[in-house]
Amino acid sequence: MFRRLLLTAGLALGLALPALAQDRSITVASTTSTEQSGLFGHILPLFTRETGIAVRVVALGTGQALDVGRRGDADVVFVHDRMAELRFVQEGHGVRRQHVMFNDFVIVGPAADPAGIAGLRDTAAALTRLAQARAPFISRGDRSGTHAAELRLWRQAGVDPASGRGAWYREVGQGMGPALNTAAAQGGYILTDRATWLSFRNRQDLRILVEGDARLFNQYGVMLVNPERHAHVKRADGQRFIDWLVSPAGQAAIAGYKINGEPLFFPNAAQAEPGI
């Protein structure tokens, strides 16, 4: 209503309102890691400058971001839980999942490392040692891609962390930044994506203790929300964003985002998703 009144008033006064009349925007449901790492602050202005399409980001855990897509409350979903993303497409909620970029997870903890996991490259061995030591472990507990990866790693280690819930295993139900703040305050261990860790300023006594295991690989994918289920989805502009992300320009923009000279994400859109 306000938009219509403003346009009517502008016409009555003989004003030109090209920006308002031609406003183009999309909504992207994504993860806290892409936002809190600063990636979107780097790449979205480049996309908007090239296309004239503004991007509104709804940053949630991956599970919640996929739920936003299922409800049709976003045009694009850009997350990092490949199996959940494939289900999203197979169930008809999304159109063609595509690789965009990757980085890795790391386990960080107090420099004193009372559980003695520093330098281990076997994540299962590190988590087993944490459980045996009943060392405080902070879990996001929020259905995010990081939370899903954490639970998968516990299963691979043959450990049920729920047995320590409320004691050494502490779920915070929050994004990566707040969860890291909790770990820093409590001297706890935590699984984090490397990008958020590199951009995290409140490290206090936390250090990277475990890294380099192939099981810590962290792939990101993007999908258009299915316009056949939600007619209001902005198919053309949403697809334009996806096409830009996987284009040489978008991939170069992702690769160009660094903190202290260290890249946070590595583009790999050229790697096809088998069967999709």
Tell me the pLDDT tens digit for each residue of 220-265.
999 999 999 999 999 999 999 999 999 999 999 999 999 999 999 9
Please report, as a single letter, which amino acid is at residue 89.
Answer: V
Comparing 2-103+218-267 with 104-216, is the CATH topology the same? yes
The domain locations on the chain are: 2-103+218-267, 104-216
- Tell me which residue has tokens 């006064």: 13
What is the pTM assigned to this prediction? 0.85
Return the structure tokens found at 164: 């320590």
Query: What's the CA angle centered on 50, arms 46 and 53, to 5 degrees?
Result: 90
For 107-117, write each residue's pLDDT tens digit: 999 999 999 99
CA distance 224 to 105: 26
How many Å apart are CA 202 and CA 185, to the nearest integer?
9
* Residue whose structure tokens are 């009144």: 5
Which positions ≥6 away from 268 have C-beta within 8 Å?
A: 99, 100, 101, 102, 219
Q: Give 104-216's CATH code, choosing from 2.40.10.220, 3.40.190.10, 3.30.750.24, 3.40.47.10.
A: 3.40.190.10
Q: Domain 2-103+218-267 carries which CATH code? A: 3.40.190.10
What is the average per-residue pLDDT within 143-150? 94
User: Residue 217: CB partners within 8 Å, gap ≥ 6?
Assistant: 102, 104
The DSSP letter of residue 162 is G
